[in-house]
Amino acid sequence: MEQLLVSIVLVFFGIRFPRALAANPAVPALFSFGDSILDTGNNNHLATMTKCNYPPYGRDFPGGVPTGRFCNGKNPTDLIASALGVKDTVPAYLSTTLTPQDLATGVSFASGGSGLDDLTSQIQGVITQPTQLAMFKEYIGKLTAAVGQQRASEILANSIFLVSAGNNDIAITYSLLLATTRPFPLYVAYLVSNAKNFFKSIYDLGVRKVWALSTLPLGCLPGGRTTAGGPLRFCAELANIEAQTFNGQLSAAVDSLRATLPNYDIRFVDVYTPFLSIIHNPQASGFTDAGEGCCGTAPFGVSGLCSLMAVCPNPSTYVFWDYGHPTERAYQLVVNSILQKMKMNVQSSFANTSITS
């Protein structure tokens, strides 16, 4: 009866859900938490310098609009949702134009600059992980009001939830603030403990399908090369070793949760390795530059913030868009590799494209 009444109200007010929802696909929605790898514009609404809702960001996004994605186009939140046939782009939860359709098919709670350590988010004035969790709880209330309790529970249980965190904790908070006062193994244990608590919290809220993304190869980011790669800007090996250490422990934590929590399909997703493969052999995947950011190019090969004056003519030939974020094309290749390993049926124009080592 509750579901019937909700349906009548929605039809009365002219609210229609997309065909994908009506058809009740295997993946009805996609959600994301974490940092700038998955943020689709939440930082636009914050008093922070960590935002990118200005040109040249978004130059290759539909309409050439700078939406707040830390990329020249779509990021993995959008690309995975599109490949799985959910929708082409995923809006930020803090967007002022959210519709009932958006709520039912997925939103992003991610915030560029955030991390598993609250200090990481506080440094940059962005959304902490506990606050992202609180936003998700608020979202569940809105979803339930829109589609009813039963359908809301079905959406939460069958949708995919992406989580990307650890990048900023290691590259910023630890490297710049804590390296001289705290042993790295202790910090990693702290980060992984926070990650496990977060994964348990969303499980308790009805989530059952989670993809926990590894960090990027932090030492090979343009910013990492500039700050710790020496005058020739090699990949900074210490940063990569730290990233691998974190990724290994995160993977073990995910395996432990999957084994102990009933019906919890939580998976560790390695993005470190496919990105490193591209970086070490960019020409094999059609890239000409793997060390500099397309819009961060500056004299003497020093990467800075995105500059409209310095943007490269063809981002698709660059692995990186700015000092710390890949281009849409690099993201697309890695996402496609992930989906193939996950054995997911995809609806992507890149479905037959793979990374060549």
Decide if pLDDT at 7 tops 60. no
Mean pLDDT score, 272-297: 94
Pairing of strands 265-269, 209-213: parallel
**What global pTM score does this model have?**
0.89
Tell me what the pLDDT averaged over the chain comes to. Answer: 89
User: In the Cβ-directed half-sphere of 213, how many Cα atoms lie within 13 Å?
Assistant: 32
**What was the pLDDT predicted at 306?**
82
* Of residues 26, 48, 52, the one with CA closest to residue 39: 52
Query: Which pair of structure tokens corresponds to residue 6?
Result: 């909700």
Give the C-alpha separation, 349 to 355, whole Å. 15
pLDDT of residue 305: 67
Name the pLDDT band for 346 (thresholds 50, 70, 90). Answer: low
Fold that domain 26-342 belongs to in CATH: Rossmann fold (3.40.50)
Q: Categorize the per-residue pLDDT at 349 as very low, low, confident or very high, splitting at 50, 70 and 90.
A: very low
Spatial distance between the Cα atoms of 219 and 73, rounded to a whole number of angstroms: 24
Which pLDDT does position 282 carry in this prediction? 97
- Token duo for residue 265: 């399909």
Question: Percentage of residues in the chain with pLDDT exceeding 90?
Answer: 82
Q: Which residues are catalytic?
A: 36, 322, 325
Assign 330 a pLDDT band (cuts: 50, 70, 90).
Answer: very high
Task: Kindly report the number of other CB atoms within 10 A of residue 180's CB atom.
Answer: 5
Map out the domains of the chain as residue ranges.
26-342
Q: Give residue 355's pLDDT.
A: 58
pLDDT of residue 150: 97
Length of the chain as a residue count:
357
What does the pLDDT average to over 162-181?
Answer: 97
